[in-house]
Structure 1
Amino acid sequence: MGRIFEVRKHTMFARWDRMAKQFTRVGKEIAMAVKAAGPDPDNNPALRRCIQNAKAVNMPKDRVEAAIKRAMGKDKTDYEEVVYEGYAPHGIAVMVETATDNPTRTVANVRMHFNKQGGTLGNSGSVAFMFNRVGEFKVKNDGQNLDDLELELIDFGLEEIGEDSEGNIIIRVAFNEFGNMSKALEDKGITVISSELKRLPQNTVELPEEQAKEVLELVDRLEQDEDVQQVFYNLK
């Protein structure tokens, strides 16, 4: 009985850790969006996207409002977006997006994570060419016909459309079409659950299970860092 409780407790804490990390990530995105274009979501598309994403991870409304107020206050933290590139063990390419108020601290930490897990932090441009930057929208499936929806959205930069394992509709566009698609979905009254910019590998590499585990240990370590927003890699 005690062991069952310990397992459940561990699972609960892991879930809380993930939630806390998600809230921190969205909070930084809100701060950067407010700094760039102000606190009014009606006039700030980036902030509207952040609020959508906050809802998608069940971030309470009062925490969203508090994050907006902090971003407007005198004691606000100014975050800078910095992207790091490198290789995990066994030649797997990795890109790390961060939001930091101290790039010196962040680069030292990211380099340490790579080194401790048998990877190597590279120079800017060392692996970026292996990834395509895309916009991805998760849309509520209200019974739409995907073929009809594809025709509706093709003029707004649609590149891919499909469904995820939960039945939501996934829409992908090129990076420079992100704003066009966001506005089109809004104008058409299509409910967007979340939207984000991603870096998708052009090709993936398959590894044996033990080697793949070593790569994922590095990814997990990076994702736990408080300055890291997202990690992308080309492991299959």
Structure 2
Amino acid sequence: MGRAFEFRKERKFKRWAKMAVQFTRLGKEIAMAVKAGGPNPDTNSRLRTAIQNSKAVNMPKDRVEAAIKRASSKDAGDYEELVYEGYAPHGVAVLVETATDNTNRTVANVRSYFTKVGGSLGKTGSLDFIFSRKSIFRFEPGEFDLEELELELIDAGLEEIYVESDEEGHDVAVVQTSFEDFGTMQKALEEKGIEVKSAKLERIPLSTTDVSEDMAGDVLKLIDKLEEDDDVQAVYHNMA
């Protein structure tokens, strides 16, 4: 009974820690959206997207409103968005998206994470042949006929539509389009009354690297360390 209690306690702690990281990242995304297009989500599509994504992870409404208010202040600092590319152990490509108010701190931290596990940072653009940037929208399939929806969304740039399972095992419909068609697809989904759970620009690997279970453990050490950093917004890899 004691072990079971400790296990549940550990899982709860990890869940809360993960949630805290998500809230921090979304807070930055909201701030950058407000700085770029103002505090009104009706006229700022990036902010509208950030608010949608915050709802998907149950970020409290008052915390979202506080982030918008802070970013609207004249004294609010700016975040710079930077992308770092490199290789983890065993030749696995890793791409790191960051948002920071201190670039020296961020690059030093990211470089140290790679170095400590025997990896290395590369030049900007060195992984362009491995990752393709795509617009990814997720929503509950509900009563929608996905085959019919596929035909209706082609003019909005639809590349793929499929169903996957979320962390709780629930079905989630996924719409994929090009990076350039993000706004067009977002508008098309809104016009069809589809409530999007999350809308993101993600890096999809065009090729993958096979590794053993032990090798995968080495790579995951790097990924876990990167994802714990407050300046890191997203981490992508091409490990099979």
- The interval holding the TM-score normalised by the smaller chain is over 0.9
Corresponding position of 2:49: 49
Q: Distance in 2 between matches of 1:76 and 1:171?
A: 35
Cα shift at 1:168: 1.5
Q: Does 1:23 pair with 2:27?
A: no
Give the Cα–Cα distance (whole angstroms) in 2 for the partners of residues 196 and 40 of structure 1. Answer: 20
1:174 to 178, 189, 193: 178
Equivalent residue number for residue 63 of structure 2 = 63
Whole-angstrom distance in 2 between the partners of 1:159 and 1:213: 33
- How many Å apart are 1:216 and its aligned residue? 1.1
Partner of 1:76: 76
- CA distance, structure 2, for counterparts of residue 92 and residue 80 of structure 1: 26
State the partner residue of 2:158. 158
Report the TM-score, using the length of structure 2 for normalisation. 0.96
Match of 2:108 in 1: 108
Classify the secondary structure of the residue corresponding to 1:141. coil
Structure 2 portions without partners, runs of 5+: none
What residue identity is the alignment partner of 2:204?
L
Corresponding residue SS for 2:171:
coil
Q: Within 5 Å, which residues of 2 pair with 1:1-236?
A: 1-165=1-165, 166-236=170-240
Q: Distance in 1 between matches of 2:230 and 2:118?
A: 21
Q: Which consecutive unaligned segments of at least 5 residues does structure 1 have?
A: none
Q: After the TM superposition, list the runs of 4 or more consecutive aligned residues in structure 1 that deviate by more than 3 angstroms.
A: none
RMSD after superposition:
0.9
Q: What CA deviation, in whole Å up to 9, does each residue of 1:132-175 have, x standing for no partner?
A: 10000002212211110000000000001000112111000000
- Equivalent-residue separation in structure 1 for 2:46 and 2:60 (angstroms): 19
Q: Secondary structure at the match of 1:106?
A: helix
Q: What is the number of equivalent residue pairs in this alignment?
A: 236
* SS of structure 1 residue aligned to 2:129: helix
Deviates more, 1:220-229 or 1:69-78: 69-78
C-alpha separation between the residues in 1 aligned to 2:121 and 2:133?
A: 20
Q: Under a length normalisation based on structure 1, what TM-score does the superposition of the two structures give?
A: 0.98
1-structure distance, mates of 2:122, 2:34: 32
SS in 1 for 2:83: strand
Note the C-alpha offset of 1:4.
2.4
Distance 1:113 1:13 in 2: 24
- 2:145 and 2:192 map into 1 onto residues whose CA distance is 15
Distance 2:212 2:7 in 1: 28
1:75 Cα deviation (Å)?
3.1
Identity across aligned pairs (percent)?
Answer: 60
Give the distance between the partners of 2:194 and 2:225, measured in 1 at CA. Answer: 36
Please give the alpha-carbon distance, in whole angstroms, between the structure 2 residues aligned to 1:12 and 1:190.
32
